Chains A and B, each alone.
Chain A
């Protein structure tokens, strides 16, 4: 019987230079439902598609607030994500305690990637089976990071991970140049449209299965420097979905007019 001898633990290379357990962990990310993140000059938006395990159960949380300046969207094993997000919450609180400042996004991302990397180099451990999109603002502006079980992190201008995320990435790549100068609301709509691209034929975005997280710099002249992380979930997401519908119907009408003329 065929047997792969190089995937029994996460610390052994295959002769081809691969670490199979890490690759399998990355497969776990692809099993999770899709999350999308995107940045403009002032804001970061996270958008997630929630799944319910069965008709009678609640929907799985996809977006978690870490601190008032930061949140994560998860794809993959939710329990691993809980470990990581609790760690991030602790680090974040620790920074506020010892320095009196919100932790820089890049700093906390490198801390979780250090933890994840350790799991790929120590015997008897396993990689995290979760991918994260970390969105936050700090002194240097808004940031979006993509975190993978391998311990790799990338700063992204837009990103999608999880099941069928390729469709969302295609949308993001096609519209990338529009994001930077878009408004906060336009950015949310772009996120929702990217998310919608991933849906199978019989599915649509509803108040139950969609969540949106937004964090950004406060507009000029307002009291604080940042607009705190805001999670749109359940009924309060309805206006965002309506805005999405409006822009889409507007566009089809424009499209029709073009055909007419």
Chain B
């Protein structure tokens, strides 16, 4: 047996020819922190009258392998904010620890945790921006849902570059392509969020999760959903997609071995 680790698990030279060693970086800076390894896909969220609903599936993929199927990507903070994580799962866990220590420090105060979702979003965007400026980014795209300082529903996004934006409905990852158009059709720009009920928002998220399950190959049919309202946060972590219908799959043409 060849005892050089770089030879292990590679095609045999005598059959496939010599492996191009330039692919094996033996010098240069560490680069493994500059790309994600285990990743979560979409997070989607909608504002409604008096709150925000947010959902994400429970999958953590290792490349295209559906590696972990019970990863909860929604994290509550205090009693009225939820962060949904897309992107690298280990970086998510790191941020989770950061938020844990902030929560503890904040609770030293006699008045408890007074940081609202807007404060939390500002903080996260600064963390992301600092890390990307060190060329050591936290490979995430997060949605922060909750309330702002005036008690209005708050929903905003922050990504690995520290870029931020907000909208009445948002999605990260593949959802930005697949879910946002659906949400825009259901809740057009002209429609004020006061006219959107909690039930409508939750139904829309479930619909989007289903479409993502149909069409995003890195998604899962088990998901978590959180509803943030004045009454607090209601999180469900092991939801299953209901009423699936794959009939449409028959009509999909134009890939694989099919001859159209």
Contact = CB atoms under 8 A, between A and B. Distances in A.
A241 to B, nearest CB: 36
Nearest to B119: A99
A125 interface: no
B109 A101 contact: no
A110 B123 contact: no
Contact of A107 (B109, B116, B118, B119): B109
A95 B171 CA distance: 29
B111 A140 contact: yes
Interface string A136-150: 001110000000000
B167 interface: no
B111 A101 contact: no
Nearest to A97: B126
B149 A138 contact: no
A174 B23 CA distance: 83
Contact of A104 (B109, B116, B149): B109
Interface in A81-116: 97-101, 104, 106-107, 110
Given A99-B119, A100-B118, A100-B119, A106 B110 contact: yes
A253 interface: no
B108 interface: yes
Contacts of B114: 104, 138-140
A18 interface: no
Interface string B112-124: 0011101110110
A98 B122 contact: yes
A225 interface: yes
How many chain B residues sit at the interface, stated as a range, is: 10 to 19
Contacts of B120: 99
B25 to A, nearest CB: 36
A99 B109 contact: no
Nearest to A139: B114
Contacts, number: 32
B125 to A, nearest CB: 10
A99 B127 CA distance: 11
A98 B115 CA distance: 12
Contacts of B116: 101
Contacts of B109: 104, 106-107
B126 A98 contact: yes
Contacts of A138: 114
A106 B114 CA distance: 12
Given A107-B109, A139-B111, A99 B149 contact: no
A88 B118 CA distance: 23
Interface residues of A, number: 13
Interface in B136-153: 149-150
Contacts of B119: 99-101
Given A104-B114, A107-B109, A139-B114, A98 B149 contact: no
Contacts of A107: 109
Interface in A113-145: 138-140
A138 B114 CA distance: 10
A26 B135 CA distance: 50
A225 B114 CA distance: 15
A99 B191 CA distance: 31
Among B111, B123, B150, find the residue whose CB has the most chain A CB atoms closer than 10 A.
Answer: B111
Contact of A100 (B108, B110, B111, B122): B122
A143 B111 CA distance: 12
B19 to A, nearest CB: 48
Interface string A215-230: 0000000000100000
A104 B105 CA distance: 12
B122 A104 contact: no
Interface string A8-23: 0000000000000000
B149 A225 contact: yes
A99 B123 CA distance: 5
Contacts of A225: 149-150
Contacts of A98: 122-123, 126
Contacts of A140: 111, 114
Closest 7 CB pairs of A and B: A100-B122, A99-B119, A140-B111, A139-B114, A101-B119, A106-B109, A98-B126
27 contacts: A97-B126, A98-B123, A98-B126, A99-B119, A99-B120, A99-B122, A99-B123, A100-B118, A100-B119, A100-B122, A101-B115, A101-B116, A101-B122, A101-B149, A104-B109, A104-B111, A104-B114, A106-B110, A106-B111, A107-B109, A138-B114, A139-B111, A139-B114, A140-B111, A140-B114, A225-B149, A225-B150
Given A99-B120, A139-B111, 8 more contacts: A99-B123, A100-B119, A104-B109, A104-B114, A106-B110, A107-B109, A110-B108, A138-B114
Interface of B: 108-111, 114-116, 118-120, 122-123, 126, 149-150
